[in-house]
Structure 1
Amino acid sequence: MTGAQCKKIIKSMGFTQSYVARSIGLDPNSLGRYLNGKAELNRSKYYRLLMLLEIDW
């Protein structure tokens, strides 16, 4: 799943990027870079994000 796809889901769920970042143990700026395609998440953070967004992996 790409950052852009996650960004759409975050918005549709009514979450803020700050809330999501803190929930998965990430700095909000780092999450923003991932969502904008400028960085990647490590495997642990990526799985936490998928779980928070209720996406099967």
Structure 2
Amino acid sequence: MTIKKFIALGVIAMTIWAAAFHFTTASLPQIPPATGRLARLASIVLRAPPIVAATAGDN
């Protein structure tokens, strides 16, 4: 993988992560406390598929 592709993939990954983090933290006050942990976990788990798909599509 060239440096340009690595940087582009990193920028995409950071953007997706930042958006998921923003939406999760913005919605946490509206979620009852018992499911707040689930929302944080979902944020972490749902970040991975776009990064994996971008990596797989690059091969």
TM-score by length of 2: 0.34
- Which structure exhibits the higher relative contact order, with contacts defined as CA atoms closer than 8 Å and separated by 6 or more residues? 2
TM-score by length of 1: 0.35
Report which of the two structures shows the higher radius of gyration computed on alpha carbons: 2
Higher helix share: 2
